[in-house]
Chains A and B, each alone.
Chain A
Amino acid sequence: MYNASETYIATSKQAVRFAQQIRGSISKGGQIYTFTGSDVIKNSFEITNQICSSTQIELGGVYAGQLNITFSPAFAADAGRGTWAGAVVNIELALITENGAEYIPAPSYVFTVDSATWSAEGLQILGYDNMLKFDRSFTADTSSGTAYDWLTYICTNCGVQLGMTAEEVQELPNGTYNLALYSDNGLLTFRDVLRELATACGCFATINRTGALVLRQLSAGEATDSITASHRIAGATFSDFETYYTGLYITDSETNTAEYYTAAGVADDGLTLSIGANPFLQYGTAGVKAQMRQNVINSLAGFRATPARVSLLSAAQYDLGDLLQYPGGIGAGAVACIMYYSITADTLQAEGYGENPALATAQSKTSKDISGLVSATSGQTVEYYTYTNIRAVEVSDGEEETAAAFRFGTKTDTTVTLWHEFKINIELEDEETPGVVKVHYYLNGIEENYQPEQIITASGVYTLDYNYYLRDISGGAVNTWTATIETTGASASVDIGGVHVCLCGQGLVSNDTFLGYIDASDDITALTFAGINPAAFSETLTVEQIPDDVQTITEERQADTLQGIDLQTAENAPNVYFEYLIDYIAFTGELYTGEDLSGGGYNIL
Chain B
Amino acid sequence: MLGRNYLSYNGVQIPTPTEGLKIAYNNIETVNQSETGTDLVSITRLKKRVYSFTLQITPFWLERVQAIAGQESSTQTFDGESITGRLRLISAELVKDSERLTTTNGLYIITAEFTEI
* Chain A interfacial positions (CB closer than 8 Å to B): 15-19, 42, 229-234, 236, 311-314, 328-331, 345-347
Of the residues A18, A230, A314, contact of B35 by C-beta under 8 Å: A230
Complex interface: chain B residues within 8 A of A19 (CB): 30, 42-44
Find out whether the CB atom of B42 lies under 8 angstroms from the CB atom of A233.
no
For the complex, give the distance between the alpha carbons of A345 and B45 in Å: 12
Find out whether the CB atom of A17 lies under 8 angstroms from the CB atom of B43.
yes
Find out whether the CB atom of A236 lies under 8 angstroms from the CB atom of B35.
yes
Tell me the dominant secondary structure on chain B's binding face. strand
Nearest Cβ distance between residue A331 and chain B, in whole angstroms?
A: 8
Find out whether the CB atom of A234 lies under 8 angstroms from the CB atom of B42.
no
Of the residues B30, B38, B41, contact of A230 by C-beta under 8 Å: B38
For the complex, give the distance between the alpha carbons of A312 and B30 in Å: 12
Complex interface: chain A residues within 8 A of B43 (CB): 16-19
For the complex, give the distance between the alpha carbons of A72 and B33 in Å: 31
For the complex, give the distance between the alpha carbons of A231 and B33 in Å: 9
For the complex, give the distance between the alpha carbons of A230 and B33 in Å: 9
22 contacts between A and B (CB under 8 A): A15-B41, A16-B41, A17-B41, A18-B44, A19-B42, A19-B44, A42-B44, A229-B34, A229-B35, A232-B34, A233-B32, A233-B35, A234-B34, A236-B35, A311-B32, A313-B40, A313-B42, A314-B42, A329-B36, A345-B42, A347-B32, A347-B42
For the complex, give the distance between the alpha carbons of A461 and B13 in Å: 113
Known pairs A15-B34, A230-B34. 12 more at Cβ < 8 A? A15-B38, A16-B41, A18-B43, A229-B35, A230-B35, A230-B36, A231-B40, A233-B33, A234-B33, A314-B42, A331-B35, A345-B44
Find out whether the CB atom of A18 lies under 8 angstroms from the CB atom of B42.
yes
Of the residues A233, A328, A330, A331, contact of B40 by C-beta under 8 Å: A233
For the complex, give the distance between the alpha carbons of A311 and B36 in Å: 14
Complex interface: chain B residues within 8 A of A329 (CB): 35-36
Nearest Cβ distance between residue A232 and chain B, in whole angstroms?
A: 5
Nearest Cβ distance between residue B41 and chain A, in whole angstroms?
A: 4
Q: Check if B39 is an interface residue, CB within 8 A of chain A.
A: yes
Tell me the dominant secondary structure on chain A's binding face. mixed
Find out whether the CB atom of A346 lies under 8 angstroms from the CB atom of B34.
no
Number of interface residues of B (CB under 8 A): 13
Of residues 30 through 74 on chain B, the ones whose CB sits less than 8 Å from some CB of chain A are 30, 32-36, 38-44
Complex interface: chain B residues within 8 A of A229 (CB): 34-36
Complex interface: chain B residues within 8 A of A231 (CB): 34, 40
For the complex, give the distance between the alpha carbons of A328 and B41 in Å: 20
For the complex, give the distance between the alpha carbons of A233 and B44 in Å: 18
Complex interface: chain B residues within 8 A of A233 (CB): 32-35, 40
Closest to A314 in B: B42
For the complex, give the distance between the alpha carbons of A232 and B41 in Å: 12
Complex interface: chain B residues within 8 A of A331 (CB): 35
Closest to B37 in A: A234
For the complex, give the distance between the alpha carbons of A313 and B40 in Å: 7
Find out whether the CB atom of A16 lies under 8 angstroms from the CB atom of B34.
no
For the complex, give the distance between the alpha carbons of A329 and B39 in Å: 15
Complex interface: chain B residues within 8 A of A346 (CB): 30, 42, 44
Complex interface: chain B residues within 8 A of A236 (CB): 35
Hey, what's the 0/1 contact readout for B12-34 against A, CB within 8 Å counting as 1?
00000000000000000010111
Complex interface: chain B residues within 8 A of A347 (CB): 30, 32, 42
For the complex, give the distance between the alpha carbons of A19 and B27 in Å: 13
For the complex, give the distance between the alpha carbons of A314 and B42 in Å: 8
For the complex, give the distance between the alpha carbons of A531 and B88 in Å: 119
Residue of B34, B36, B44 with most chain A CB atoms under a 10 A cut-off:
B34
